[in-house]
Amino acid sequence: MSNLALFPIVIPLIFAAVLMLFPKNLKMQRAVAIAGVSATLISALVLFSKVSTDGIQAVTLGSWPAPFGISMVSDMLSVLLVLSSTLVTLFVLFYSIPTIGVKRERSFYYPAVLFLMTGVNGAFTTGDIFNLFVFIEVLLMASYALIVHGGEKPQLRESIKYLLVNIISSALFVSAVAYLYSVTGTLNMADLAVKIPEIEAVGILTVIAVLFLVVFGFKAAIFPLYFWLPGSYFAPPMAILALFGALLTKVGVYAIMRTYTLFFTMNIGFTHELLAIIAILTILAGCIGALAYFDVKKIIIYNIIIAVGVILFGVSQLNEAGVEGSIFYLVHDMLIKAALFLLVGILTVIFGTSDLRKMGGLIKSYPLFGWTFLIAAFGLAGIPPLSGFPGKLLIVQGGFEGTHFWGSLVILATSLLVLLSVVRIFIYAFWGEPAKIVTIDRKHYLSMFVPTAILVALTVVLGAGAELFMPFISDAGEVLLNPSLYIDAVLKE
Amino acid sequence: MRTNDVMLQTATKVVTFIILMFAVHIFFAGHYTPGGGFVGGLLTASAIVLLMLAFDLPTVKKIVPINYVVLTAVGLLIAIATASASILFDVPFFTHAYDYFDLPLFGKTSLHSAMLFDLGVYLVVVGVTMTIIQTIGEDE
pLDDT in tens, B49-81: 999 888 888 888 888 888 999 999 999 999 999
Closest CA to B50 of B115, B102, B5, B116: B5
pLDDT in tens, B26-51: 998 887 888 888 999 999 999 999 99
For chain B, say whether A274 makes contact (Cβ under 8 Å). Answer: no
| β-strand partners of A74 | A57
Interchain pair B76, A20: CB under 8 A:
yes
The whole-angstrom distance between B42's CA and the closest CA on chain A is 20
> Which amino acid appears at position A224 of this protein?
P
Cβ atoms within 10 Å, residue A19: 25
| pLDDT, position B139 | 63
Q: Which residues of B touch A20 (CB under 8 A)?
A: 69-70, 72-73, 76
Q: Which residues of B touch A61 (CB under 8 A)?
A: 92-95
Q: Which residue among A6, A21, A62 sits closest to B96, beta carbon to beta carbon?
A: A62
Reported confidence tier of residue B95, pLDDT bands at 50, 70, 90: confident
Q: Give CA separation, A65 vs A69, A125, A491, B55, in Å.
A: 6, 18, 8, 52
Q: Which residues of B touch A10 (CB under 8 A)?
A: 80, 83-84, 93
Q: Which residue among A10, A16, A62 sits closest to B84, beta carbon to beta carbon?
A: A10
pLDDT in tens, A74-115: 999 999 999 999 999 999 999 999 888 888 888 899 999 999
ipTM for this prediction: 0.89
Q: Which residues of A touch B91 (CB under 8 A)?
A: 1, 63
Closest CA to B113 of B136, B91, B140, B135: B91
Q: Is the pLDDT of residue B4 over 80?
A: no
Interchain pair A13, B94: CB under 8 A:
no
Q: What is the rounded distance in angstroms from the CA atom of residue A37 to the CA atom of residue A81?
A: 15
Burial A316-333 (b: 16+ CB within 10 A, else e): bbbbbbbbbbbbbbbbbb
Q: What is the rounded distance in angstroms from the CA atom of residue A358 to the CA atom of residue A345?
A: 15
SS3 annotation, B63-87: HCCCCHHHHHHHHHHHHHHHHHHHH
For residue A67, the number of C-alpha atoms closer than 13 Å in the C-beta half-sphere is: 13
Q: Among residues of chain A, what percentage have pLDDT more than 90?
A: 74
Which residues 16-75 on chain A approach chain B with CB closer than 8 angstroms?
16-18, 20-21, 23, 59-63, 69, 72
Q: What is the pTM of this model?
A: 0.93
Q: Is the pLDDT of residue B140 over 60?
A: no
Q: Is A62 helix (H, G, I), strand (E, B) or coil?
A: helix
Task: Give the chain B residue nearest A17 (alpha carbons).
Answer: B73
Q: What is the rounded distance in angstroms from the CA atom of residue A83 to the CA atom of residue A334?
A: 11
Q: What is the rounded distance in angstroms from the CA atom of residue A346 to the CA atom of residue A438?
A: 11
Burial B29-38 (b: 16+ CB within 10 A, else e): ebeeeebbbb
| pLDDT, position A493 | 61
> Is residue A265 a contact partner of residue A193, using CB atoms and an 8 Å limit?
no
The whole-angstrom distance between B68's CA and the closest CA on chain A is 10
Rg, Å, chain B Cα set: 18
What sign results for the dihedral spanned by CA atoms A60, A61, A67, A72?
negative
> Is residue A227 a contact partner of residue A184, using CB atoms and an 8 Å limit?
no
Interchain pair A63, B95: CB under 8 A:
yes
* Residue A151 φ/ψ region, left for φ over 0, alpha for ψ in the -120 to 50 degree band, beta for the rest: left
Interchain pair B92, A13: CB under 8 A:
no
Q: Is the pLDDT of residue B16 over 90?
A: yes
How far is C-alpha B46 from the geometric centre of its chain's CA atoms?
10
Helix axes B114-138, B68-88, angle to 10 degrees: 160
Q: What is the rounded distance in angstroms from the CA atom of residue A54 to the CA atom of residue A433?
A: 58
Q: Which residues of B touch A21 (CB under 8 A)?
A: 70, 73-74
Cα distance between the two ends of chain A: 7
The whole-angstrom distance between A338's CA and the closest CA on chain B is 30
Closest CA to A21 of A111, A149, A84: A111
Q: Number of helices (H) and strands (E), helices first, in chain B?
A: 5, 2
Task: Give the chain A residue nearest B89 (alpha carbons).
Answer: A3
Interchain pair A63, B91: CB under 8 A:
yes
Task: Give the chain A residue nearest B124 (alpha carbons).
Answer: A17
Interchain pair B84, A20: CB under 8 A:
no
> Is residue A308 a contact partner of residue A282, using CB atoms and an 8 Å limit?
yes
Q: Which residues of B touch A59 (CB under 8 A)?
A: 92-93
> Is residue A116 a contact partner of residue A88, using CB atoms and an 8 Å limit?
no
Q: What is the rounded distance in angstroms from the CA atom of residue A189 to the CA atom of residue A125?
A: 12
Cβ atoms within 10 Å, residue B100: 9
Q: Give CA separation, A251 vs A247, A343, A409, A482, B42, in Å.
A: 7, 23, 27, 22, 32
Mean pLDDT by 10 residues, chain A (493 residues): 86 94 91 96 95 91 86 93 95 92 89 95 95 95 91 88 93 95 93 92 93 94 90 90 93 94 90 94 94 92 94 92 94 95 92 88 89 93 89 93 90 93 91 84 90 94 91 92 91 75
Interchain pair A14, B73: CB under 8 A:
no
Helix (H) or strand (E) holding A72: strand A71-74
> Is residue A218 a contact partner of residue A166, using CB atoms and an 8 Å limit?
yes
Cβ pairs bridging A and B (under 8 Å): 51
The domain spans of chain B are 6-138
Q: Which residue among A1, A14, A23 sits closest to B80, beta carbon to beta carbon?
A: A14
Q: Which residue among A10, A17, A60 sits closest to B92, beta carbon to beta carbon?
A: A60
Interchain pair B92, A61: CB under 8 A:
yes
Q: Which residues of A touch B86 (CB under 8 A)?
A: 3
> Which amino acid appears at position B32 of this protein?
Y
| β-strand partners of A57 | A74
> Is residue A387 a contact partner of residue A379, using CB atoms and an 8 Å limit?
yes
DSSP A356: G
Helix (H) or strand (E) holding B112: strand B107-112
Average pLDDT of the segment spanning B82-102: 84
Interchain pair B73, A18: CB under 8 A:
yes
